[in-house]
Structure 1
């Protein structure tokens, strides 16, 4: 029986320091029938040359160059559009998968409605533990994700042959959350794998470390992307802040 193709989407912008480790973690997967679509957002460092070297050595790796700098949402959406696989997953250009991520996710998704995700390690830039492992819930609904986004872009795994291709909203923050919510409007829940299958690299200068800025964008997400009422937005916003404190309690 022919093995299904898994499409992997990676946005890249000036990530020469980490992109090799990310690609190597894909190459080290025990499941080998995949395509890696790296969408470069007009990088100004050497990451393009590094990616091109990998493309020459492995035909499964493909570089897509954006014409203008357009941000992570449009880059990921371009990758989704180009994806040829029956399954879709994502890995950012500074994160890593453990070797069995694809194999386990592919088997695990068969037990679901078509959408699964996994727990992960949380390390610093030098790949040393920074926070305790993030252990995901066994299942999440649309309402659950509005309260706290337990699905990392790093471990989401979607059967697009079954659920179809959906796209991320074009916003600077929470674009991945927008995609998960779009899928969860059509299914009852996504299910979580309890053991860590990936490494999320926490970088001090990343957008996600500016918490006050994130709060502003979180409110805007409820109102402008999900079009929730002021009352519902306030309800979920309060829960989001509470759960955010718990998420990063070490």
Structure 2
């Protein structure tokens, strides 16, 4: 298939979940409608906004037939909203954009120019004040897995934005965003998607502008249940790639998992109105889920946490954490 035919035939579904985003939404939508690559549909999914977001979306839909508005009426969270976008998408490719953010005019075109195979996920850099430190090349998952993850700190780059997903891979493998998880559902989606591709190409382009807002989920505190499910997904990921897990990769992945475990303790237990029984039950879940690798591939402080968890010294552990968190 020639490049001109590929560009003409490749419909891209751009999915934007919207919740009370009236202030940022016009800039976000305009940045997509001004794309140099024109063959896309823009799916605006209203997640029960209480401001004038829906009116703004309908206004754009009235001016451009590529814009489609789906009104959920009741708020049900970003995961359910993205899933609804997937179910309505008609494009070969799905791109997610957040309603607080915006993209430069050649954002989609750069993806299309680098597209060669459905089994290679394309990924661009993100500008958060400045671009992240990524290394631009094509990584084969079977042979370059450690370099892909460790060199690019990829598990902290697991959000759905700035990626070029094949809709068929998502739908055929029933990959969805977990509606029961309030944090890390995007990383869980990414980890599941990686099971069904052969390579990831990191493109030398930084065309996605991430805007920090006070309501951002990354700034919110999350439940123990959500963080524990994310920890479980990381454990499953480690198990799946055990044969490729050399020392460098293990050290990296267990560091990420420890960050999630500590967030579960700090956000989901300490400072919550939990009884001692409830707190100890949650800590026991963590203690039962960690293994000797959590001790080997970490530093002195977390080795101490590991021993306190495994010996069920929960009172002492909580006292230590509360002292350090003051």
Normalising by the smaller structure, the TM-score range is: 0.7 to 0.9
Q: Does 1:157 align with 2:171?
A: no
Moved more, 175-184 or 24-33: 175-184
When the two chains are superposed, the root-mean-square deviation of aligned CA atoms in Å is 3.2
Q: Does 1:222 align with 2:248?
A: no
Deviations 1:141-178 (A, max 9, x none): 577399623244220111224x3423222221122212
Q: Residue 118 of structure 2 contacts residue 166 of structure 2 at CA under 8 Å; is this kept in 1?
A: no
The 4+ residue runs of structure 1 with deviation greater than 6 A are: 229-235
Could you tell me which residue of structure 1 aligns to residue 134 of structure 2?
A: 136
Normalized per residue, the structure richer in helix is 2
Pick from 201, 204, 209 the counterpart of residue 219 of structure 2. 209
- Residue 216 to residue 108, structure 1, CA distance change in 2 (3 Å): farther
Residues 1-250 of structure 1 mapped to structure 2, 5 A cutoff = 1=5, 2-110=8-116, 113-122=119-128, 131-138=129-136, 141=141, 144=149, 148-161=155-168, 163-165=169-171, 166-170=175-179, 171-210=181-220, 213=222, 217-223=226-232, 225=233, 228=236, 236-239=253-256
Secondary structure at 1:32 match in 2:
coil
Post-superposition shift, 1:136?
3.0
Q: Quick one: distance in 2 between partners of 1:159 and 1:11?
A: 19
Post-superposition shift, 1:108?
1.5
Residue ranges of structure 1 left out of the alignment (5+ in a row): 123-130, 243-250
Give the structure-2-normalised TM-score. 0.63
Q: Residue 137 of structure 1 contacts residue 150 of structure 1 at CA under 8 Å; is this kept in 2?
A: no
* Bigger Rg, structure 1 or 2: 2
Give the structure-1-normalised TM-score. 0.80
Q: Quick one: distance in 2 between partners of 1:117 and 1:164?
A: 16
Post-superposition shift, 1:241?
6.6
Post-superposition shift, 1:46?
0.6
Secondary structure at 1:148 match in 2:
helix
Q: Residue 19 of structure 1 contacts residue 47 of structure 1 at CA under 8 Å; is this kept in 2?
A: yes
Secondary structure at 1:238 match in 2:
helix
**Paired residues, number:** 232
Residue ranges of structure 2 left out of the alignment (5+ in a row): 243-249, 260-326
Q: Residue 38 of structure 1 contacts residue 63 of structure 1 at CA under 8 Å; is this kept in 2?
A: yes
- Residue 214 to residue 187, structure 1, CA distance change in 2 (3 Å): farther
Q: Residue 16 of structure 2 contacts residue 82 of structure 2 at CA under 8 Å; is this kept in 1?
A: yes
Higher relative contact order (CA 8 A, sep 6+): 1
Post-superposition shift, 1:13?
0.3
